[in-house]
A and B are shown apart, each in its own frame.
Chain A
Amino acid sequence: MTAVGTRSALRSTRPRHFGRVLNWIGQHVVLSGLAVLFLAPVVFVFLTSMMTSNQTLTATIWPDPWTWDNYVRAFTQVPLVRWFANSATYAVLATAFMLASSIPAAYVLARIRFRGANILFTAIIIAMLLPPQVTAVPIYVMWSKLGMTGTLLPLILPNLLGDAFSIFLLRQFFLTIPSEYADAARIDGNGEWGVLARVIIPMAKPGIAATAIFMFFNSWNDYYGPLLYTSENEQWWPVAIGLASFRSSHGGDWGITMAITMLVMVPVVIIFFFAQRTFVEGIALTGVKG
């Protein structure tokens, strides 16, 4: 990969053909042009979030004067802190519960042969691919009978019993660890839990991190679940619901809406930059490997 890269780089600095230079320029013009288009939406959101309320009502693109007022109002006039706290509670607990239940299950599916393993694995794959709306009614009835609708618990608690996509992903990561390591640990007198804790988990840290990040993002971004369970109880609204309902409940104030939109994007982007490698490798794995 690196070798190929340097060779081509040499080629483009000392072109043999004029056409190749044109080609290079053409490709980079297209790449940069599209990149500007891709970044523009976020830039416009930011610019509008820095305008005064009056300015957002006029046909302007550039703020004059610049003001942080919308961000101040977002925190003082809107229950933004509570929305974020709810989103964080949902995402952190769902991720922690998922890890506790799905890591052991993925380990068994990756490393231990048993009767019914194929059926179980097929069930996990169907559960992972099935549109959630297919099973939504009976699950809603179940939580309703337990008196838990109106809270985020119906979205958090099921993770104690494993999450199909996470089990699948973790298992794919565990399979890449040579079984000799586990065998050696067994000979040293470890039970399956010992092998999992001392060998598999330390060696699969990047895979576990990727799975955890996916789970965290999915819960943080989830709209359908919270809409179904919390829409009638504002106390439990996560930020996704709060933001979606904001314009209808607060009139057409685009300035403050854009400030909240910026604030919703920021945590996800920060996490991404800290875990970029893990994340991108995880995505590639879900679609390609195997």
Chain B
Amino acid sequence: MLAPAVLGLALFFVYPLLASIYYSFTRYNLVSDPQWIGLRNYQYLFADDPNVWQAAGNTLWFVAVMVPVKLVFAFAIAGLLTRAKTATGLWRTLYYLPALVPPVASVVTFVFLFNPGTGPVNLILKAFGIDGPLWFNDPALAKPSLLLLGIWVTGDVMIIFLAGLLDVPRDLYEASGLDGANGVQKLWYITLPTIVPVLLFSLVTGIIAALQFFTEASVASSVASGKVSIGEGAGAGFGYPENSLLTYTQWLYIRGFSNYQLGYASALAVLLFVVAAVFLTLLLRRFSAFTPDEATR
């Protein structure tokens, strides 16, 4: 019963993980055999690659800004939703729905909403006498524009928080209210301690997801620029405007699958693995509660 899954793990997890490390020490273009070049890929990565640090910086922006903003927003909405006593199901569905929109469709939607010429956002701003900015076409605003999109689709985290908040025993609030606790004290002493594990879990999974941020950024670039990023010459549209949306995984994609520098792309993958592993270990500790020994005890 387990055989297929074990084979699957070996073929699609253990083997490629080890092979990535091996390829990272080689020059390999899929046509000729991998050729051992020692640490040269890593030398190039840390010293000479013209774009890797900008790409890493952009990814870091999404990790450091987008993840916390989304969490705070999801937490605030979840908190508001626990207060709504009428039509609870309707409110929840309303706030959750955008998270369902397929990512590509949501990006196309936002690039359209914020397009400088005919986009509704700038048209509305104009009605108030404001000259709207270029949003996805402005290198300084492209990432913040994606942040707005990130907030729009934050419904799944919101649901997780809502479930956590509803698990907080009601009588704790009532008892503390009788003892004269105010709203802030209730939040600090009752709500937060109960839901901190949920918050931490969402923070770490959010960071791991942000480290691989790819689809939204590359689709936004390609739709906003009108340049092809698919098929022949794939990757040409990545990063628009001015590489402000070029993330680390897009750079890996360009080097590996547009330029077929598979050895170098593997070095980039190994570096990504090292960074992700830090956060993975944090999560593994939490997941150890799930292992068969613990669960069946």
Contact = CB atoms under 8 A, between A and B. Distances in A.
Contacts of A138: 15-16, 19-20, 23, 266
Interface in B73-92: 77, 80-81, 83-86, 88, 91-92
Contacts of A224: 214-215
A41 B8 contact: no
A70 to B, nearest CB: 13
B110 interface: yes
Interface stretch (B134-142, B157-165, B185-193): B157-165
Contacts of B290: 121, 125, 168, 172, 290
Nearest to B202: A287
Contact of A221 (B9, B15, B103, B164): B103
Interface in B157-184: 157, 159-160, 162-164, 166-167, 170
A241 B107 CA distance: 12
Instruction: Give the interface size class of chain A.
Output: 35 or more
Interface in B117-157: 117-118, 120, 123-124, 126, 152, 156-157
Interface string A58-80: 11010000000000000000000
Given A243-B104, A287-B201, A113 B118 contact: no
Nearest to A51: B118
B95 interface: yes
A125 B287 contact: yes
B222 interface: yes
Main SS at interface, chain B = helix
Contacts of B19: 137-138, 141
A148 interface: no
Contacts of A161: 4-5, 7-8, 11-12
Interface string B218-248: 1100110111111110100100000000000
Nearest to B98: A38
B47 interface: no
Given A127-B13, A131-B208, A35 B5 contact: no
A28 B83 CA distance: 9
A113 B96 contact: no
A284 B237 contact: no
B265 A137 contact: yes
A139 B1 contact: no
B97 interface: yes
Contacts of A28: 84
Contact of B4 (A27, A101, A130, A261): A101
Contacts, number: 308
A29 B112 CA distance: 28
B100 A136 contact: no
Contact of B228 (A44, A61, A121, A249): A249
Contacts of B117: 59
Given A247-B226, A290-B289, A27 B231 contact: no
A135 B108 contact: no
Interface in B24-47: 30
Interface stretch (A180-188, A203-211, A251-259): A251-259
Contact of A248 (B118, B160, B229, B296): B229
Contacts of A290: 289-290
Interface string A40-68: 11101100100000001111010000000
A113 B292 contact: yes
A264 B105 contact: yes
Contacts of A142: 11, 16
B9 A231 contact: no
B14 interface: yes
Contacts of B94: 35, 38-39
Contact of B252 (A38, A133, A287): A133
B105 A265 contact: yes
B278 interface: no
B112 A221 contact: no
Given A140-B257, A254-B118, A269-B97, A134 B17 contact: yes
Contacts of A58: 118
A221 B104 contact: yes
Interface in A131-166: 131-142, 144, 158, 160-162, 164
A260 to B, nearest CB: 8
Q: Which of A28, A264, A269, A284 has the most CB of B within 10 A?
A: A284
B91 A123 contact: no
Interface in A275-289: 276, 280, 283-284, 286-288
Contacts of B293: 117-118
B160 A288 contact: yes
Given A247-B223, A252-B226, A286 B160 contact: yes
Interface stretch (B49-57, B62-70, B269-277): B269-277
Given A268-B102, A284-B159, 18 more contacts: A9-B86, A44-B120, A118-B293, A124-B9, A125-B287, A127-B9, A133-B212, A133-B214, A133-B249, A134-B20, A136-B16, A141-B19, A141-B30, A162-B8, A164-B13, A221-B104, A244-B108, A245-B228
Nearest first, the 7 closest Cβ-Cβ pairs linking A and B are A161-B8, A287-B160, A162-B5, A138-B19, A105-B5, A135-B16, A284-B163
10 contacts: A41-B109, A59-B126, A61-B123, A107-B1, A117-B292, A121-B291, A141-B262, A161-B8, A247-B226, A261-B108
